[in-house]
Amino acid sequence: MTNTEPNQGYVPYEPTHAGPPSSGGGRRTRSGKRRGLFITLITIGVVVVLGGVGGGLYATGVLNSLINPGPADYEGSGSGSVTFTINEGDIGEDIATNLYKAGVTASFDCFYELLLKTEPAPTFVPGVFTLKEKMSAAAALEALLDPANAQVDTVAVPEGTSEAGIIQIISEATGIPEADIQAEAADVASYGVPAEAPKLEGFLFPATYTFTPGTTARVILQTMVDRCMQALDDAGVAPEDRFKIITMASLIQKEAGIAPDFPKVSRVFWNRLDESYWPTGLLESDATVAYGAGVKRVETTVAERADESNPYNTYVHPGPLFAPISNPGDVAIDAALHPVDGPWLYFVCVNYETGETIFSTTADEHAAAVDQWGAWLREHPEYDQ
Protein backbone atom coordinates (compact mmCIF):
# COMPACT_ATOMS: atom_id res chain seq x y z
CA MET A 1 0.00 0.00 0.00
CA THR A 2 1.36 3.38 -0.95
CA ASN A 3 1.74 5.90 1.91
CA THR A 4 0.34 9.19 0.70
CA GLU A 5 1.13 11.05 4.00
CA PRO A 6 4.14 13.41 4.06
CA ASN A 7 7.30 12.04 5.77
CA GLN A 8 7.71 13.16 9.40
CA GLY A 9 11.23 14.22 10.46
CA TYR A 10 12.89 12.92 7.34
CA VAL A 11 14.28 14.93 4.46
CA PRO A 12 15.02 12.75 1.45
CA TYR A 13 18.47 13.05 -0.03
CA GLU A 14 18.59 15.16 -3.14
CA PRO A 15 21.90 15.55 -4.95
CA THR A 16 22.92 19.07 -5.85
CA HIS A 17 23.74 17.97 -9.33
CA ALA A 18 23.37 14.95 -11.49
CA GLY A 19 26.06 12.38 -11.51
CA PRO A 20 26.99 9.08 -10.04
CA PRO A 21 27.84 8.81 -6.36
CA SER A 22 31.41 8.12 -7.25
CA SER A 23 31.85 11.38 -9.06
CA GLY A 24 33.04 13.15 -5.95
CA GLY A 25 30.41 15.86 -6.15
CA GLY A 26 27.50 16.64 -3.88
CA ARG A 27 26.73 15.71 -0.22
CA ARG A 28 27.51 12.05 -0.74
CA THR A 29 31.23 12.88 -0.72
CA ARG A 30 31.48 13.83 3.02
CA SER A 31 34.37 11.99 4.69
CA GLY A 32 33.90 8.69 6.50
CA LYS A 33 35.50 10.13 9.67
CA ARG A 34 32.99 12.95 9.95
CA ARG A 35 30.18 10.58 9.15
CA GLY A 36 31.40 8.21 11.90
CA LEU A 37 31.41 11.03 14.43
CA PHE A 38 27.94 12.08 13.25
CA ILE A 39 26.64 8.54 13.75
CA THR A 40 28.27 8.34 17.20
CA LEU A 41 26.61 11.55 18.30
CA ILE A 42 23.27 10.38 16.92
CA THR A 43 23.72 7.12 18.86
CA ILE A 44 24.41 8.99 22.08
CA GLY A 45 21.38 11.11 21.39
CA VAL A 46 19.29 7.98 21.11
CA VAL A 47 20.66 6.77 24.47
CA VAL A 48 19.64 10.07 26.01
CA VAL A 49 16.13 9.74 24.61
CA LEU A 50 15.77 6.11 25.60
CA GLY A 51 17.53 6.30 28.98
CA GLY A 52 16.05 9.52 30.27
CA VAL A 53 18.05 11.35 32.90
CA GLY A 54 20.06 8.30 33.95
CA GLY A 55 21.01 7.52 30.43
CA GLY A 56 21.92 11.15 29.89
CA LEU A 57 24.30 11.14 32.82
CA TYR A 58 25.89 7.92 31.66
CA ALA A 59 26.28 9.20 28.13
CA THR A 60 27.73 12.48 29.37
CA GLY A 61 30.22 10.54 31.50
CA VAL A 62 31.23 8.38 28.56
CA LEU A 63 31.72 11.40 26.37
CA ASN A 64 33.65 13.26 29.05
CA SER A 65 35.91 10.27 29.64
CA LEU A 66 36.66 10.13 25.94
CA ILE A 67 37.50 13.80 25.78
CA ASN A 68 39.15 14.22 29.23
CA PRO A 69 40.47 10.85 30.47
CA GLY A 70 41.56 10.92 34.18
CA PRO A 71 44.93 9.82 35.53
CA ALA A 72 45.80 6.13 35.53
CA ASP A 73 44.55 4.41 38.68
CA TYR A 74 44.27 0.85 39.93
CA GLU A 75 41.07 -0.65 41.29
CA GLY A 76 40.66 -2.25 44.69
CA SER A 77 42.90 -2.67 47.71
CA GLY A 78 45.83 -4.34 45.95
CA SER A 79 47.78 -7.47 46.80
CA GLY A 80 51.13 -8.53 48.17
CA SER A 81 53.03 -6.34 50.61
CA VAL A 82 55.03 -3.14 50.33
CA THR A 83 56.95 -1.38 53.10
CA PHE A 84 56.45 2.34 52.61
CA THR A 85 58.08 5.19 54.53
CA ILE A 86 56.80 8.71 55.12
CA ASN A 87 59.80 10.77 56.11
CA GLU A 88 59.78 13.75 58.42
CA GLY A 89 58.95 16.79 56.29
CA ASP A 90 57.37 14.89 53.39
CA ILE A 91 54.55 16.80 51.72
CA GLY A 92 51.73 15.51 49.53
CA GLU A 93 53.79 15.69 46.35
CA ASP A 94 56.59 13.65 47.95
CA ILE A 95 54.18 10.98 49.14
CA ALA A 96 52.43 10.79 45.77
CA THR A 97 55.77 10.44 43.99
CA ASN A 98 57.07 7.77 46.36
CA LEU A 99 53.85 5.75 46.23
CA TYR A 100 54.13 5.57 42.46
CA LYS A 101 57.82 4.67 42.57
CA ALA A 102 57.09 1.91 45.10
CA GLY A 103 54.49 0.33 42.82
CA VAL A 104 51.64 1.09 45.18
CA THR A 105 49.70 3.46 42.90
CA ALA A 106 49.34 3.55 39.14
CA SER A 107 50.46 7.16 38.76
CA PHE A 108 51.52 10.26 40.62
CA ASP A 109 48.43 12.15 39.48
CA CYS A 110 45.81 9.70 40.75
CA PHE A 111 46.99 10.09 44.35
CA TYR A 112 47.91 13.77 44.20
CA GLU A 113 44.62 14.79 42.60
CA LEU A 114 42.78 12.83 45.29
CA LEU A 115 44.66 14.77 47.97
CA LEU A 116 43.65 18.06 46.38
CA LYS A 117 39.99 17.05 46.44
CA THR A 118 39.94 15.61 49.96
CA GLU A 119 38.42 17.80 52.67
CA PRO A 120 39.66 18.31 55.27
CA ALA A 121 43.21 17.91 53.99
CA PRO A 122 44.75 14.62 55.24
CA THR A 123 47.39 14.79 57.97
CA PHE A 124 50.20 12.29 57.50
CA VAL A 125 52.34 10.97 60.35
CA PRO A 126 55.98 10.13 59.57
CA GLY A 127 56.68 6.43 59.90
CA VAL A 128 56.92 3.07 58.18
CA PHE A 129 53.69 1.59 56.84
CA THR A 130 52.61 -1.75 55.45
CA LEU A 131 50.82 -1.23 52.13
CA LYS A 132 50.12 -3.40 49.09
CA GLU A 133 51.02 -3.36 45.43
CA LYS A 134 48.64 -1.88 42.86
CA MET A 135 46.26 -0.15 45.25
CA SER A 136 43.71 2.39 44.13
CA ALA A 137 44.57 5.91 45.19
CA ALA A 138 41.62 5.91 47.59
CA ALA A 139 42.70 2.61 49.16
CA ALA A 140 46.29 3.84 49.53
CA LEU A 141 45.15 7.05 51.22
CA GLU A 142 42.91 5.16 53.62
CA ALA A 143 45.74 2.76 54.48
CA LEU A 144 48.21 5.57 55.20
CA LEU A 145 45.75 7.24 57.57
CA ASP A 146 45.06 4.00 59.47
CA PRO A 147 47.41 3.67 62.50
CA ALA A 148 47.01 -0.11 62.31
CA ASN A 149 49.19 -0.10 59.18
CA ALA A 150 52.07 1.71 60.87
CA GLN A 151 55.07 -0.44 61.68
CA VAL A 152 56.38 0.31 65.17
CA ASP A 153 58.87 -1.02 67.66
CA THR A 154 57.11 -1.29 71.03
CA VAL A 155 59.34 -0.83 74.07
CA ALA A 156 57.46 -1.74 77.27
CA VAL A 157 59.32 -0.90 80.50
CA PRO A 158 57.82 -2.07 83.84
CA GLU A 159 58.22 0.06 86.96
CA GLY A 160 61.34 -0.75 88.92
CA THR A 161 63.35 -2.05 85.96
CA SER A 162 67.05 -1.25 86.19
CA GLU A 163 68.96 0.60 83.49
CA ALA A 164 70.62 -2.66 82.45
CA GLY A 165 67.22 -4.30 82.16
CA ILE A 166 65.88 -1.41 80.08
CA ILE A 167 68.82 -1.62 77.70
CA GLN A 168 68.06 -5.29 77.20
CA ILE A 169 64.37 -4.52 76.57
CA ILE A 170 65.25 -1.84 74.01
CA SER A 171 67.63 -4.18 72.22
CA GLU A 172 65.07 -6.99 72.02
CA ALA A 173 62.36 -4.64 70.73
CA THR A 174 64.42 -2.77 68.17
CA GLY A 175 67.29 -5.03 67.20
CA ILE A 176 69.86 -2.42 68.27
CA PRO A 177 72.85 -4.22 69.85
CA GLU A 178 73.05 -3.78 73.62
CA ALA A 179 76.63 -2.55 73.32
CA ASP A 180 75.50 0.30 71.08
CA ILE A 181 72.80 1.32 73.54
CA GLN A 182 75.24 1.15 76.44
CA ALA A 183 77.66 3.36 74.54
CA GLU A 184 74.95 5.97 73.99
CA ALA A 185 73.85 5.78 77.63
CA ALA A 186 77.41 6.41 78.84
CA ASP A 187 77.25 10.08 77.82
CA VAL A 188 75.12 10.81 80.88
CA ALA A 189 75.45 14.59 81.09
CA SER A 190 74.24 15.11 77.51
CA TYR A 191 70.73 13.93 78.36
CA GLY A 192 69.96 16.76 80.76
CA VAL A 193 69.79 14.70 83.96
CA PRO A 194 70.94 16.23 87.27
CA ALA A 195 74.69 16.68 87.54
CA GLU A 196 74.84 14.32 90.54
CA ALA A 197 73.62 11.36 88.49
CA PRO A 198 76.42 8.86 87.77
CA LYS A 199 74.21 7.02 85.25
CA LEU A 200 70.85 7.36 83.56
CA GLU A 201 69.49 5.01 86.23
CA GLY A 202 66.33 6.44 87.72
CA PHE A 203 65.66 8.80 84.82
CA LEU A 204 64.49 6.27 82.21
CA PHE A 205 60.79 6.51 82.90
CA PRO A 206 58.90 3.19 82.91
CA ALA A 207 56.14 3.23 80.29
CA THR A 208 55.17 1.72 76.96
CA TYR A 209 56.78 3.51 74.03
CA THR A 210 56.36 3.08 70.29
CA PHE A 211 59.16 4.02 67.91
CA THR A 212 59.43 4.00 64.15
CA PRO A 213 61.79 1.24 62.98
CA GLY A 214 65.24 2.70 62.58
CA THR A 215 64.95 5.11 65.51
CA THR A 216 68.39 5.51 67.09
CA ALA A 217 69.28 4.44 70.61
CA ARG A 218 70.07 8.06 71.42
CA VAL A 219 66.55 9.19 70.51
CA ILE A 220 64.97 6.32 72.44
CA LEU A 221 66.92 7.05 75.62
CA GLN A 222 66.31 10.79 75.35
CA THR A 223 62.58 10.14 74.96
CA MET A 224 62.58 8.16 78.22
CA VAL A 225 64.56 10.82 80.06
CA ASP A 226 62.26 13.56 78.79
CA ARG A 227 59.27 11.55 79.97
CA CYS A 228 60.81 11.25 83.43
CA MET A 229 61.37 15.00 83.62
CA GLN A 230 57.76 15.52 82.63
CA ALA A 231 56.66 13.17 85.44
CA LEU A 232 58.77 15.03 87.97
CA ASP A 233 57.43 18.38 86.80
CA ASP A 234 53.86 17.09 86.91
CA ALA A 235 54.44 15.90 90.48
CA GLY A 236 55.67 19.35 91.46
CA VAL A 237 59.32 18.40 92.04
CA ALA A 238 61.61 21.41 91.91
CA PRO A 239 64.57 21.00 89.52
CA GLU A 240 67.05 21.17 92.41
CA ASP A 241 65.25 18.28 94.17
CA ARG A 242 65.01 15.94 91.20
CA PHE A 243 67.97 13.76 92.11
CA LYS A 244 66.98 13.42 95.77
CA ILE A 245 63.36 12.55 95.00
CA ILE A 246 64.06 10.17 92.13
CA THR A 247 66.67 8.38 94.24
CA MET A 248 64.25 7.86 97.12
CA ALA A 249 61.49 6.88 94.71
CA SER A 250 63.76 4.24 93.15
CA LEU A 251 64.26 2.68 96.59
CA ILE A 252 60.54 2.75 97.40
CA GLN A 253 59.77 1.19 94.02
CA LYS A 254 62.04 -1.78 94.76
CA GLU A 255 61.08 -2.26 98.41
CA ALA A 256 57.30 -1.74 98.40
CA GLY A 257 55.06 -4.62 97.46
CA ILE A 258 51.65 -3.10 96.68
CA ALA A 259 50.67 0.45 95.80
CA PRO A 260 48.80 1.24 99.06
CA ASP A 261 52.01 0.54 101.00
CA PHE A 262 54.22 2.90 99.01
CA PRO A 263 53.60 5.96 101.25
CA LYS A 264 54.27 3.87 104.40
CA VAL A 265 57.51 2.44 103.00
CA SER A 266 58.47 6.00 102.13
CA ARG A 267 57.82 7.04 105.73
CA VAL A 268 60.07 4.27 107.07
CA PHE A 269 63.05 5.42 105.01
CA TRP A 270 62.49 9.11 105.69
CA ASN A 271 62.28 8.27 109.41
CA ARG A 272 65.59 6.40 109.17
CA LEU A 273 67.18 9.53 107.80
CA ASP A 274 65.92 11.45 110.85
CA GLU A 275 68.39 11.17 113.75
CA SER A 276 65.61 11.67 116.28
CA TYR A 277 64.08 8.39 115.09
CA TRP A 278 67.13 6.46 113.90
CA PRO A 279 70.49 7.69 115.23
CA THR A 280 72.63 5.49 112.97
CA GLY A 281 71.29 7.08 109.79
CA LEU A 282 71.59 3.71 108.05
CA LEU A 283 68.77 2.85 105.65
CA GLU A 284 69.68 -0.88 105.87
CA SER A 285 68.05 -1.93 102.62
CA ASP A 286 68.88 -5.28 101.07
CA ALA A 287 67.65 -3.94 97.72
CA THR A 288 70.42 -1.34 97.64
CA VAL A 289 73.09 -3.86 98.63
CA ALA A 290 71.91 -6.32 95.97
CA TYR A 291 71.97 -3.60 93.31
CA GLY A 292 75.52 -2.59 94.11
CA ALA A 293 76.65 -6.21 94.30
CA GLY A 294 75.02 -7.01 90.97
CA VAL A 295 72.82 -9.81 92.34
CA LYS A 296 69.09 -10.33 91.90
CA ARG A 297 68.31 -12.12 95.17
CA VAL A 298 65.78 -10.69 97.62
CA GLU A 299 68.09 -11.55 100.52
CA THR A 300 71.77 -10.63 100.72
CA THR A 301 74.60 -12.39 102.53
CA VAL A 302 76.43 -11.22 105.64
CA ALA A 303 79.53 -10.65 103.54
CA GLU A 304 77.62 -8.56 101.01
CA ARG A 305 76.10 -6.44 103.78
CA ALA A 306 79.56 -5.85 105.25
CA ASP A 307 81.18 -4.83 101.95
CA GLU A 308 82.27 -1.21 102.33
CA SER A 309 83.46 -1.04 98.73
CA ASN A 310 79.84 -1.12 97.57
CA PRO A 311 78.70 2.53 97.46
CA TYR A 312 75.09 1.33 97.45
CA ASN A 313 75.55 -0.63 100.69
CA THR A 314 73.19 1.14 103.10
CA TYR A 315 74.20 -1.18 105.93
CA VAL A 316 77.60 0.50 106.18
CA HIS A 317 77.14 3.88 104.47
CA PRO A 318 74.78 6.19 106.42
CA GLY A 319 72.65 8.92 104.99
CA PRO A 320 70.67 9.15 101.78
CA LEU A 321 71.13 6.50 99.11
CA PHE A 322 74.16 7.14 96.89
CA ALA A 323 72.19 7.05 93.61
CA PRO A 324 69.01 5.50 92.15
CA ILE A 325 68.75 1.72 92.02
CA SER A 326 65.77 1.43 89.66
CA ASN A 327 63.54 3.48 87.42
CA PRO A 328 60.42 4.42 89.42
CA GLY A 329 56.93 5.26 88.20
CA ASP A 330 54.43 7.91 89.21
CA VAL A 331 53.20 6.13 92.35
CA ALA A 332 56.70 5.83 93.81
CA ILE A 333 57.54 9.44 92.94
CA ASP A 334 54.38 10.62 94.67
CA ALA A 335 55.18 8.47 97.71
CA ALA A 336 58.68 9.91 97.95
CA LEU A 337 57.15 13.38 97.98
CA HIS A 338 54.23 12.58 100.25
CA PRO A 339 55.02 9.92 102.86
CA VAL A 340 52.11 9.13 105.15
CA ASP A 341 52.48 10.20 108.77
CA GLY A 342 53.66 7.43 111.09
CA PRO A 343 56.42 6.34 113.51
CA TRP A 344 57.39 3.14 111.67
CA LEU A 345 61.03 2.14 111.40
CA TYR A 346 60.66 -1.42 110.07
CA PHE A 347 58.62 -3.37 107.59
CA VAL A 348 58.59 -6.88 106.19
CA CYS A 349 56.41 -8.58 103.61
CA VAL A 350 54.88 -11.64 105.26
CA ASN A 351 53.00 -12.99 102.24
CA TYR A 352 54.56 -12.83 98.80
CA GLU A 353 51.34 -13.88 97.10
CA THR A 354 49.17 -11.07 98.52
CA GLY A 355 51.90 -8.53 99.23
CA GLU A 356 50.78 -8.23 102.87
CA THR A 357 53.38 -6.18 104.73
CA ILE A 358 53.70 -5.56 108.46
CA PHE A 359 55.04 -2.15 109.59
CA SER A 360 56.60 -1.92 113.03
CA THR A 361 57.91 0.76 115.36
CA THR A 362 60.09 -1.31 117.70
CA ALA A 363 62.69 -3.99 117.13
CA ASP A 364 60.63 -6.52 119.08
CA GLU A 365 57.56 -5.90 116.93
CA HIS A 366 59.69 -6.32 113.86
CA ALA A 367 61.23 -9.56 115.15
CA ALA A 368 57.74 -11.02 115.59
CA ALA A 369 56.84 -9.98 112.05
CA VAL A 370 60.01 -11.60 110.72
CA ASP A 371 59.04 -14.84 112.48
CA GLN A 372 55.66 -14.66 110.75
CA TRP A 373 57.43 -14.18 107.42
CA GLY A 374 59.67 -17.20 108.13
CA ALA A 375 56.67 -19.36 108.91
CA TRP A 376 55.03 -18.38 105.64
CA LEU A 377 58.19 -19.25 103.72
CA ARG A 378 58.30 -22.69 105.33
CA GLU A 379 54.75 -23.25 104.13
CA HIS A 380 55.68 -22.03 100.65
CA PRO A 381 59.18 -23.39 99.96
CA GLU A 382 58.86 -22.55 96.26
CA TYR A 383 59.42 -18.89 97.20
CA ASP A 384 62.45 -19.52 99.43
CA GLN A 385 65.09 -19.46 96.70
62-110 residue pLDDT tens: 444 455 567 899 999 999 999 999 998 999 999 999 999 999 999 999 9
Q: What's phi and psi for 172, nearest 5 deg?
A: -65, -35
Local structure of 351: helix, strand or coil:
strand
Predicted local confidence at residue 7, as pLDDT: 35
Predicted local confidence at residue 182, as pLDDT: 98
Give CA–CA dist 108/149, Å, rounded: 21
Residue (of 277, 305, 279) closest to 292 by Cα position: 305
Which domains does the chain possess?
A: 79-150 (3.30.1490.480), 153-234 (no CATH), 239-383 (no CATH)
Q: Is the peptide bond before 311 cis (omega within 30 degrees of 0)?
A: no
Integer CA distances (angstroms), 284 to 33, 300, 305, 339, in order: 103, 11, 9, 18
324 contact partners, CB below 8 Å, separation of at least 6: 197, 201, 202, 203, 246, 247, 249, 250
| DSSP helix, strand, coil percent of the chain (3-state; round to 5) | 50, 10, 40
Integer CA distances (angstroms), 26 to 18, 29, 61, 319, 328, in order: 9, 6, 36, 118, 100
State how far Cα 267 lies from the chain centre.
37
215-237 residue pLDDT tens: 999 999 999 999 999 999 999 99
State how far Cα 95 lies from the chain centre.
21
The answer to whether 201 and 182 are in contact (CB under 8 A) is no
Q: What's the pTM?
A: 0.73
State how far Cα 133 lies from the chain centre.
25
Instruction: List the chain pLDDT tens, one digit each, 385 residues.
Output: 434 333 333 333 333 333 333 333 333 333 333 334 333 333 333 333 334 444 443 344 344 445 556 789 999 999 999 999 999 899 999 999 999 999 999 999 999 999 999 999 999 999 999 999 999 999 999 999 999 999 999 999 999 999 999 999 999 999 999 999 999 999 999 999 999 999 999 999 999 999 999 999 999 999 999 999 999 999 999 999 999 999 999 999 999 989 999 999 999 999 999 999 999 999 999 999 999 999 988 789 999 999 999 999 999 999 999 999 999 999 999 999 999 999 999 999 999 999 999 999 999 999 999 999 999 999 998 886 5
